[in-house]
Amino acid sequence: MASALPEPGPRWRSAEFLRSLTAVSPATLTAYDRDLRQFVDWIGRMGVETPEAVTRLQLRRHLGHLTIRNYAKRTIARRASTLRRYFGWLLRANVIATDPSAGLSAPRGDGRLPRVLRRDELEQILGTDVVPGPTDLRDSVVTELLYGSGLRVAELCGISPGEVDLQAGTVDVLGKGSKYRRLPLSEPCSQVLDAWLHGGRAAFVADVCRADHEPGALLLNRRGNRLGPRDARRILDARSSEPTHPHALRHTFATHLLDGGADLRTVQELLGHADLGTTQLYTHVSRERLRKVYEQSHPRA
């Protein structure tokens, strides 16, 4: 959780707050840490040195400051969420008598729809014409799991070999909130996983890894460590003609399911969304795609 800003002083109890967050991902924890460091640095320049002295007006001014600095609406919304959670924890810990963040609002997200990959982009990334050496086989497992099962990249990187059941055609993944869910494997994904688990992974360790490997990881990088999100991003960039985020494959997975007639609740279960409203975003994506097809195809469009 390294940051260019110093850690807040002990009276802010930020380290204790962060340790209390046991059900969040490492990326979320890093974001909370960064948000708090920036807030404490900002309000310290206003002459405020303790959380007890923070007022609701100062919190609103902090969000306004971010708006003036042209921070993205999503970032400001996350910062407001961090502050609400932090001051709520301080209230429960009896550090403050009243919560200045109660009801603190932030601008809504910018409403951008997730990008859905074109068919030619998807085929290029999935590498259907790639001759599978050990590295290419590993990369195919990455892309097939991201698209075929709709995994988050952190879920992909966290899989262990024992969580793959080729006979049942399923994979168990640890999602947000430390909740496991069992997902089906596509037929192409089952095939590359079978090849990876029965010879490919061992060949990768022998031919590619530069050091001892981590035995509990399904996917490895060249250093023998568990594959990380940056490694996955590099794999996609190497296979794509333009920069592609791993989440684009998850977006494409969900949109293709809805386009194919899947109901929203099923897609919610597959994606591991706690809130159905998050999944409903993909209905807008599908409607937009249908609109484009209509405009391109109907003579009166």
Rounded to whole angstroms, the Cα distance separating 269 from 149 reads 11
CA-wise closest residue to 141 among 186, 88, 93, 202: 186
Query: Taking the CB of residue 97, how many other CB atoms lie within 10 A of it?
Result: 8
Domain 10-92 annotated CATH 1.10.10: no
Q: Which two tokens stand for residue 58?
A: 């100062």
User: pLDDT tens digits, the chain, 301 residues: what are they?
Assistant: 445 788 898 899 999 999 998 877 788 889 999 999 999 999 999 999 999 999 999 999 999 999 888 888 888 888 999 999 999 999 999 999 999 998 887 766 555 656 789 888 999 999 866 667 899 999 999 999 999 999 999 999 999 999 999 999 999 999 887 889 999 999 999 999 999 999 999 999 998 887 778 889 999 999 999 999 999 999 999 998 888 889 999 999 999 998 888 888 999 999 998 888 778 877 777 776 667 766 777 677 6
| Biggest alpha carbon–alpha carbon distance for the chain | 68
* Cβ pair 137, 128 in contact under 8 A: no
Q: What is the Rg, in whole angstroms, of the alpha carbon atoms belonging to the chain?
A: 23
Q: Count Cβ atoms within 10 A of the Cβ of residue 153 and give its class: 0-12 exposed, 13-18 middle, 19 or more buried.
A: buried
CA-wise closest residue to 75 among 48, 39, 43, 44: 39
pTM: 0.67
Q: Which two tokens stand for residue 265?
A: 């609740």
Domain boundaries, the chain: 10-92, 119-295
Instruction: For residue 208, give every residue at least 6 positions away whose Cβ sits within 8 Å of its Cβ, in sequence order, or none.
Output: 134, 135, 222
Which sequence positions are flagged as catalytic? 152, 176, 247, 250, 273, 282
Q: Which two tokens stand for residue 212?
A: 């001892």
Rounded to whole angstroms, the Cα distance separating 119 from 100 reads 49
Q: Which two tokens stand for residue 262?
A: 């899947």
Measured torsion, CA atoms of residues 234, 240, 242, 246, in degrees rounded to the nearest 10:
-50
Output the pLDDT for position 1: 44
Output the pLDDT for position 211: 72
Which DSSP category does 186 fall into?
A: P
Rounded to whole angstroms, the Cα distance separating 89 from 110 reads 29
CA-wise closest residue to 161 among 198, 207, 208: 198
CATH placement of domain 119-295: 1.10.443.10
